[in-house]
Structure 1
Amino acid sequence: MSAFDYDLFVIGGGSGGVRAARVAAQRGVRVGLAEEDRYGGTCVIRGCVPKKLMVFASEYGGMAEEARAYGWDIALGDFDWSAFRTRLHAELDRLEGIYRNILTSNGVETFDARATLVDPHTVELSDGTRKSAKHILLAMGGRPVKPDMPGAELAITSNDIFHLDKLPGSILIIGGGYIACEFACILNGLGVKVTQYYRGAQVLRGFDDEARGLVAEEMRQDGIDLHLGTNILSLERSGSGIRAKATNGDERVFDQVMFATGRAPNTDGMGLEALGVHLGRAGQVIVDQFSQSAIPSIYAVGDVTDRVNLTPVAIREGMAFVETVFGGNPTPVDHDLIPTAIFTQPEMGTVGLSEEAAREIEPVEIYCTSFKPMQSGFAGNPRRVLMKLVVSKATRRVLGCHIVAPGAGEMIQLAGIAIKMGATKEDFDRTVAVHPTMSEEIVTMKSPVRTA
């Protein structure tokens, strides 16, 4: 009989924690899991899933307009936020039920409680009870943070957007990362007057310059009032609105203000540092390639480690942890060449190195084309798309692929397979084009537009 209550205790019921708990339980491991909020975590409850459903909702207005150019007599009515929100919340409830069921049906004992650490093998639940485990997995995720400034409490974050009683007439979004840009596009598509302030020189820092430049241009063209090199000094209540004072001297009143200025790992008040678990400057749990912390019995996966904060990455880390600890097969997590999508309008899909990052490493050739796609071009829509490959001069391997286009997320998933396999530019060239599609341009670009 084991000296511990569990072989594994997981703190956090999001994508990474639930996957690790389920896979471990299926191996016959005795697993306990505590979640203080809703099961499904950021992705299912307040991230990817509700956001993508809002993206779908926000695109219908433009579709109706384009349909008229194709001969359809369509009159667009108003968007009913409350009807959509009711369906959205019902869907999130359904998904949370699935997550809970996954755990119980696999024999995981769950606790709807906050858990903190007492020692390397003991957690304490918010009701005061203590549970011991041979291994503890930290999977608490992260949360949006607001900057420290006067009036910051008046603003919302991405967590709150799905719970608004009504859509604001106008909103100021502060930030330039993918969350800020996605919600700017979503709310603009739903008829909200959107202003966006970002302190940097261009939105989507860290992504390919040419690709993010086109996204910013298209956002402006769609009616988003985007101000770069601009930050906020203070917020104050002004009638029923919020007055925002900006660094560029502007003072404007908005119905709503949203901060999308970063996220922080949920490690506060967990008792980690007292135990000797090393935390980084942002509060992230420092782990090795096997997701093990400085304390041998304590591991961490997902956003709480601030490695690559994406749902599929957390899931892979959770599965690698189980294979390492309970499968006797030490499995490092491969964080190289992860494809990802940003659901702006148009979408951006990316895998591998940006042009800027690649040319710092080795000489490269750049293959790139930008054009009006057939569907929107026929309707007189000026929107452009971009297809770009970054190719090593020495090995001819495709080091990066960047797509800005409707459906870019779907395209980059498939391009990601080829690039992960080490495909060369000649492999792309040997592939026959699917015509007429936007993505055929990826295999028909014959000459580089520049070398770097």
Structure 2
Amino acid sequence: MSNFDFDLFIIGAGSGGVRAARIAGAYGARVAVAEEHRVGGTCVIRGCVPKKLLVYGSHFAEDLDDAAMFGWDVPEKRFDWAVLRDNVLGEVSRLEGLYGETLGNHDVQVFKDRAVITGPNQIRLGSGRTMTAGKILVAVGARPALPDVPGVEHAITSNEVFHLERMPRRVVIAGGGYIANEFAGIFHQFGAHVTLVNRSDTILRGYDEQIVDRLVKISIAKGIDMRFNSAFSAIDKQEDGSLICRMNGCDDIIADEVLFAIGRTPNTEGLGLQEAGVKLSDNGAIIVDDEYRSSVPTIFAVGDVTDRIQLTPVAIREGQAFADTQFGGKKIRVDYGCVPSSVFSHPPIAAVGLTEGQAKNRLGTVRTYTSDFRPMKNVLAGRNERSLYKLVVDDGSDEVVGVHLIGPDAPEIMQAAAIAVKARLKKADFDATVALHPTMAEELVLMR
């Protein structure tokens, strides 16, 4: 036993912190976690889990319309936001409890308090209590960024969406990333008029241009307004509660809610990091090496606070690798290549590997294969929306280096496709695989 109060003290009980705590505890380490908000972090409490439940709820808007062509009589279609909101928040509370049980089952001591680093091995809680630890892991995540615009206090972020008292009739969403596009689809399907404002002419940077172009066309066809090369100069609140967005680059916009989804900022302020000697990047992220060690040898960091790849599964892998390496005697490294990702837009996008442009820049000569089709369900429902699947192949090796999809269930299909890309399978392997018919996924092995 060391002379420290704990072998490991973790600040932040999100996905990465909880995984690190659980694994380190299983190795016999004395572990404590400080969480000033709720156990579960962004993903469980105010991120991907509740958002995905809203996505599920929003899909019923079109499903109920389509049902008639499949013989179902749905005499009335009425949406009650309060019912969905409260059910989602109830599920979040249930999951929070499960996360707490997981920590308890591994003898992890949880302090529901803010923690500040006061030295290489010392932490002070908001209550004033000071403790020591052999290693400190910072896993505090990130928060939605807000612009310096007059009236920005009248706007909301993705944190507040899940608590809205009522569904707004008019929503302006600022941003071009996955969060902005996901909430654009959600609000639209719930009956709101959505205007998506982006300061450049490109959305979803890093995704294949052909796939993104398809999403833009489908979104506009559905009735989502898109304003490119536009920025906010001010937000004015009117006596009736409505908001006037004063714009540069486009006409002013009247809204009931304004949602900013313009990026996320690492939560490093006020943690005592710089005072302890921890080096931060220009945007406040903790700089770490391949073992997640900061510039202070006893202080580590994983997840969004390091601003590498801001995805929950990546934070979990990092937390696991940290605990395995530091307490399990294993030297584990996370492979950041071929990380699949998705945008739960309407319809969703999924991708793994290189885009066509990236592959050309890196490999030289590439081949691309596409399947542009209308899903069987859309055909019978009389819906003209088309899906697009794309393979990017290294012409020299025949390896499939990228898979890009837009269409129903694209993220579900992508998980299996990501295994193929990770395994460096060739286009010939795809061609040799018998199709599973009738499915949308069979298009992956039928492209010639």
Question: C-alpha distance in 1, partners of 2:152/2:39?
Answer: 28
CA contact (8 A) 2:24 2:328 kept: no
CA contact (8 A) 2:182 2:343 kept: yes
1:332 and 2:336 are equivalent in the alignment:
no
Query: Deviation per CA, 1:373-410, whole angstroms, max 9, x where unpaired?
Result: 11102221110101100000111111100010100010
Question: C-alpha distance in 1, partners of 2:333/2:276?
Answer: 25
Match of 1:354 in 2: 355
Query: Deviation per CA, 1:125-162, whole angstroms, max 9, x where unpaired?
Result: 00111110000000000000110111111100000000
Question: C-alpha distance in 2, partners of 1:15/1:49?
Answer: 12
Q: Which amino acid aligns with 2:340?
A: P
Tell me the secondary structure at the aligned position of residue 274 of structure 1: coil
CA contact (8 A) 2:34 2:114 kept: yes
Question: C-alpha distance in 2, partners of 1:334/1:379?
Answer: 43
CA contact (8 A) 1:348 1:404 kept: yes
Match of 1:238 in 2: 238
For residue 122 of structure 1, report the CA deviation from its aligned partner.
Answer: 0.4
Match of 1:400 in 2: 402
Tell me the secondary structure at the aligned position of residue 2 of structure 1: coil
Question: C-alpha distance in 2, partners of 1:379/1:86?
Answer: 32
For residue 438 of structure 1, report the CA deviation from its aligned partner.
Answer: 1.2
Question: C-alpha distance in 1, partners of 2:444/2:6?
Answer: 51
CA contact (8 A) 1:290 1:333 kept: no
Matches within 5 A, 1:38-57: 38-57=38-57
Question: C-alpha distance in 2, partners of 1:231/1:402?
Answer: 30
For residue 273 of structure 1, report the CA deviation from its aligned partner.
Answer: 1.2
1:101 and 2:98 are equivalent in the alignment:
no
For residue 439 of structure 1, report the CA deviation from its aligned partner.
Answer: 1.3
For residue 71 of structure 1, report the CA deviation from its aligned partner.
Answer: 2.5
Tell me the secondary structure at the aligned position of residue 159 of structure 1: helix
Matches within 5 A, 1:295-374: 295-362=296-363, 363-374=365-376
Query: Deviation per CA, 1:324-370, whole angstroms, max 9, x where unpaired?
Result: 11122221211110111110011111000111111111111111121
For residue 229 of structure 1, report the CA deviation from its aligned partner.
Answer: 1.8
For residue 76 of structure 1, report the CA deviation from its aligned partner.
Answer: 3.4
Structure 2: where are the runs of 5+ without partners? Answer: none
Would you say how many aligned residue pairs link Structure 1 and Structure 2?
A: 446
Q: Which amino acid aligns with 1:148?
A: D
Question: C-alpha distance in 2, partners of 1:55/1:99?
Answer: 23
Question: C-alpha distance in 2, partners of 1:88/1:242?
Answer: 27
Match of 1:275 in 2: 276
CA contact (8 A) 2:227 2:250 kept: no
Question: C-alpha distance in 1, partners of 2:381/2:330?
Answer: 56
Matches within 5 A, 1:196-207: 196-207=196-207
Question: C-alpha distance in 2, partners of 1:445/1:83?
Answer: 44
Structure 1: where are the runs of 5+ without partners? Answer: 447-452
Match of 2:258 in 1: 257
Tell me the secondary structure at the aligned position of residue 218 of structure 1: helix
CA contact (8 A) 2:144 2:263 kept: yes
Detail structure 1 runs of 4+ shifted over 6 Å in the superposition: none
Query: Deviation per CA, 1:153-190, whole angstroms, max 9, x where unpaired?
Result: 11000000000011111110010100000000001011
Tell me the secondary structure at the aligned position of residue 171 of structure 1: strand
Matches within 5 A, 1:140-289: 140-239=140-239, 240-289=241-290
Question: C-alpha distance in 1, partners of 2:347/2:375?
Answer: 12
For residue 230 of structure 1, report the CA deviation from its aligned partner.
Answer: 1.9
1:3 and 2:3 are equivalent in the alignment:
yes
For residue 106 of structure 1, report the CA deviation from its aligned partner.
Answer: 1.1
Question: C-alpha distance in 1, partners of 2:177/2:301?
Answer: 25
Aligned mate of 1:442, from 441, 444, 448: 444
For residue 249 of structure 1, report the CA deviation from its aligned partner.
Answer: 4.0
CA contact (8 A) 1:238 1:253 kept: no
Question: C-alpha distance in 2, partners of 1:444/1:265?
Answer: 43
Tell me the secondary structure at the aligned position of residue 294 of structure 1: coil
Tell me the secondary structure at the aligned position of residue 160 of structure 1: helix
CA contact (8 A) 1:202 1:213 kept: no
Q: Which amino acid aligns with 1:132?
A: T
Question: C-alpha distance in 2, partners of 1:73/1:25?
Answer: 54
Question: C-alpha distance in 2, partners of 1:249/1:337?
Answer: 38
Tell me the secondary structure at the aligned position of residue 82 of structure 1: helix
Match of 2:72 in 1: 72
